[in-house]
Copies of this chain bind each other. A is one copy, B any other.
Amino acid sequence: SVNPDLASERQTASFSVEKLTALLDGSAEQTRIRRAVVEAIESDPVFSRENQYFQTQNERYEAAVRKAVHLQKKMHEMGWTENGPEYKYIYRALSGDVAFLLHRVFMRSISVLGSDKQIAKWIPLATQHKLIGSYAQTELGHGTYLQGLETTAVFDTAAQEFILNTPKISAMKWWPGDMGRSATHTVVFAQLYVHGKCYGIHPFIVQIRSLQDHSLCPGINAGDIGPKMNFEHIDNGYLLLKNVRIPRENMLSKFCEVRPDGTYVRQGSQKINYFTMTTVRISLISDEVLTPLMKACTIAIRYSVVRRQSKLKPGEQEAKILDYQTQQEKLLPQLAAAYAFHFINDYLQELFNRGYREIQRKNFDMLPELHALSSGFKAVITQHCTAGVEICLRACGGHGYSLLSGLPSLYTKILASCIYEGENTILLLQTARFLIKCFMAASAGQPVPPSVTYLAAVKHGKCPAKNKLDFLSPDIYTEAYQHVAVRLTSSTAAKLQDLIQSGVKKHDAWNQCTVQLVQAAKAHCHYIAVKNFAETVEKLETKAGIQKIMKHLCDLFALHGIFSNTGAFLHDGYTSAAQMDMVTASYLDLLAVIRKDAVPLVDAFDFTDKSLNSALGSYDGQVYQRLYEWAQKSPTNQMSPAYERYLKPLLHNTLSKL
C-alpha cells in the first residue's frame, strides 16, 4: 500500500509520466527493452544488492567477482550481446557493482593500440576469459601529466625483450582496477628506452599472475591499495616491476614499433586514439554521473513529501517538508539540472557520433572543439551533479545520513567522477585554452568552430527584460548567459595580454589567470547547456503536457544559475539590480509551480526499488517501516564481544579496581 502522502502527489500530475519516461529513454521501445533487462537482472538472486550496506570491502569484492562471472552466463541465457540493444542497460541495472570493468578497458586498449597480429592473438583469449586484464597507467606520483610517468621499458636487442622496471617508489603503478587481486595480465605504460635513448610513453602487455595458481609472476609485486571512500567492490591495485622481461611482440604497435635491430618506427596517425580517450569522458556521464543524481533526486523528493515536520499554518497538521520554500530551493534545482544534463548528454552523444564519422573519413577538423566540449562538460556536469547529490543527502536530515537511505553511497561514488578521467580543474583549463585561442582568432576575423562563434559577436547592450515574466523567455536568459560567457573570456584574454605585454613570462601570466580562466570555461558550458535545454523544449511542440513542464524546468535551471551567481550578470551592468530582483521573483515563483509535479518528475526516471536500494526512496513511500525492518538485519544487531569483555566487568564493578 502506498503512503497516502505520496499517493496524493501522483494524482495531480500535469503530464503523462509514461510518455516522459519514453522521451528520456529515446522511445517507448527503448523503455520496453530497458525494463526487460532490469527485470531479468533484478529477479536473479545472484545480482542482489540487498546486503550491500552491511558488507565489508572483502565481501563486496567477492560479490562483484561472483556477479561478473555470473553475468557471462546470464548474457548467454538471455541472448544479450555486446552489440545488442540491451547491452547499454546491463551495467546500469547492476548499479555498477560488478568486477572486470578494467578487463574491457584492457581489451579496448589492445583493439585501439595493437597491431592486427596482436589483436588476433589477445582479443580471443580475453573474450574467452583465458586471462583477466587490467590497465596500468597512473602511478603513485603521476596522474594527469602522462609524460611524467617513471616506469621504464628498456629494449634488450640480444634477447629481443623489453625489461620493465619501477625505478622508484613514486613510479609504482597505483589505482588500476581489477589489478589488486584479480588480473593475470595488464597493459603497462612505460618510458621506452632503446640503445639508451628515451622515446617516451608506450603501452606493453605484461603478465602479472600465473594462469595456473594465480601466484605473482617473477619480478612482480602487486596487491590491493586498501580502503577507499567507495568502490569497495573494486580491487584497485598497485604494481611494482623488477626486471620483468617481456617479448618484443608485447609492445602494442599500431602506431609505434621497435624493430628487432632496435630501430624505432612511428606509423599512422594517433589522432583517432586521442579521440577515443576524449569520448570516454562523455561516455561515463550517463551511468556514472546522471544516474546517481537522478536517484538522489528520486529518494530525496519522495522522502520530502512523506516526512512531515513543524507546522506551516497554525492549527493544521505538520507540513510535508517539500512545502517549505527552503526545501524546494534545495531539491528542485537539482531536479532541473538532472533534466538539463540529460539533454546536453544527448546533444554531446550525437555530436561525438558525428565527429567519429568525420574522423573515420580522415577529417580531423572537429577534434579541438570536441576535446574542449568533452573536457568542459565532464568537469561541469560531474561537479554540478556531485554537489546536487550532496544537497539531496543533507536535505533528508538524519535519515539521509544513514547508509540505508542509499544517499551516502551515491555521494561517495559520484565524488570520484570529479577526479578520475581527468581532474576537473585541469580539464576546465583545457577548455579555457581553446576558448582563448578561438576568441583571439575570432577577434582577428578568422573562422572558429560552431560552438564558439558567439565569441565573435561581442555585444555591449543591456538585458531588455522589463518585468519578472520576461525572465521566463528563453531568449532573454540565454542571451544573458551568452553575454557573461563572452565577457569572462574576453576580459581574461585581455588580462593575459596585459600581463605578457608588461613583461610577465607567458607561463607565469597563464598561471596568474587560471582562476578566471576556470570561470570562463564554466560560463561557456553553462551557456551551452541552457541554450540546448531551451532548444530541446522548443522541439517538444507535439507533446504539449510534457513541453509545458519541461519549459518550467528549463526556466528553473536557467534562473537558478543566475540567482546563484548574480555577480557575473550584474558586473558590467548587463543586468540591473531591478532586473535581478525580477529574476529572484520569477525563480521563487517557479519553485512553487514545479513543486506540484515534483513526484511525477522523479517517477519518470523509472527507477525500481531494488535499483534505488533506499529505505527513503521506495515507490510506496513506507519509509519508517522499511528503516526499522532493514536496521534489524544489520550485523550490528548481533551480540558483541564488547559486552563480556568490557561492559559486564564495568557494570559489575569487577574491572581491576581503579
Contact = CB atoms under 8 A, between A and B. Distances in A.
Nearest to A633: B226
Interface string A496-524: 00000000010110011111101000000
A359 to B, nearest CB: 27
A104 interface: no
Contact of A228 (B403, B511, B640): B403
A651 B224 contact: no
Contact of A324 (B416, B511, B567, B568): B511
A627 interface: yes
Interface in A128-163: 128-132, 138, 140-145, 148
A641 B323 CA distance: 51
A140 B515 contact: no
Interface in A575-593: 577, 580, 584, 588
B310 A148 contact: yes
Contact of A143 (B311, B398, B634): B398
A144 to B, nearest CB: 7
A638 to B, nearest CB: 8
A279 B648 CA distance: 34
A595 B638 CA distance: 51
Contacts of A314: 507
Interface stretch (A20-28, A59-67, A465-473): A59-67
Contact of A138 (B142, B214, B398, B572): B398
A66, A73, A566, A642: most-surrounded residue (chain B CB, <10 A): A642
Interface string A371-411: 00000000000000000001001100110111110001000
B128 A404 contact: no
Given A310-B148, A577-B573, A627-B140, A653 B225 contact: no
A329 interface: yes
Copies in the complex: 2
17 contacts: A53-B227, A66-B645, A73-B655, A128-B653, A129-B653, A132-B650, A169-B624, A174-B398, A180-B636, A181-B642, A228-B403, A229-B412, A238-B628, A312-B508, A327-B425, A393-B415, A566-B566
Interface in A549-584: 565-573, 577, 580, 584
A425 to B, nearest CB: 5
Interface string A618-635: 000000110110111111
Contacts of A227: 53-54, 402-404, 634, 636
Contacts of A646: 62, 65-66, 68-69
Contacts of A649: 69
A400 B228 CA distance: 9
Contacts of A228: 401-403, 408
